[in-house]
Chain A
Amino acid sequence: AQKVTQTQTSISVMEKTTVTMDCVYETQDSSYFLFWYKQTASGEIVFLIRQDSYKKENATVGHYSLNFQKPKSSIGLIITATQIEDSAVYFCAMREVDSNYQLIWGSGTKLIIKP
């Protein structure tokens, strides 16, 4: 069975520090895609970053990077030099390559950046 778990419901850090949000997943497939999305206070959801399971190199986009540990079925999101506007809810999601475009979503982690 496919499942995505985000155990951290809420994290609070000081501005300009680095934060890591955890995500573990379950899948029987050897090929899959992992995504992180951000939902702002206004409700808007935007795509942040993606990791393909066959790629060994961790994805990086701007001040977002991933810590992909395939043997542990883990895909952590790292935000460096956090800013107030990074305060949001972050969702992890997975899609198996052979699935029919259906994403499996985690329950989200609320990130609070304190000034």
Chain B
Amino acid sequence: GGIITQTPKFLIGQEGQKLTLKCQQNFNHDTMYWYRQDSGKGLRLIYYSITENDLQKGDLSEGYDASREKKSSFSLTVTSAQKNEMAVFLCASSIKGGSNERLFFGHGTKLSVL
């Protein structure tokens, strides 16, 4: 088995601040994802990466940057935190296609902006 570790678990920022969220996986999966989940809502894709140094924008990429310098890690930067923003950011990874394709999720980073 493997695990996806997201740090930090909780992140409190100030309006306009640049904030970075980190994700590590030891599954040796090729593809990694960042999702945003607002309270009581579904998942919206921010960025994904199909291999090291690859970045693909999702529907919600505006206001975010991502980085995949190693296969095992995928970081997300909120470029300018918005006042009163509150959401959970979920990192996931998956095997590249095949009958075992499915997402494995981290436990999330909960963001609050003052």
Contacts and interface: CB of A to CB of B under 8 A. Distances in A.
Interface of A: 33, 35, 37, 42-47, 50, 52, 91, 95, 100-103, 105-108
Contacts of B41: 107-108
Nearest to B104: A47
Given A37-B103, A46-B105, A50-B102, A102 B58 contact: yes
Interface in B87-111: 88, 90, 92, 94, 96-97, 99, 101-105, 107-108
Contacts, number: 46
Contacts of A100: 50, 56
Contacts of B104: 47
Given A45-B90, A91-B42, A108-B42, A103 B102 contact: no
A43 B43 contact: no
Interface in B29-46: 31, 41-45
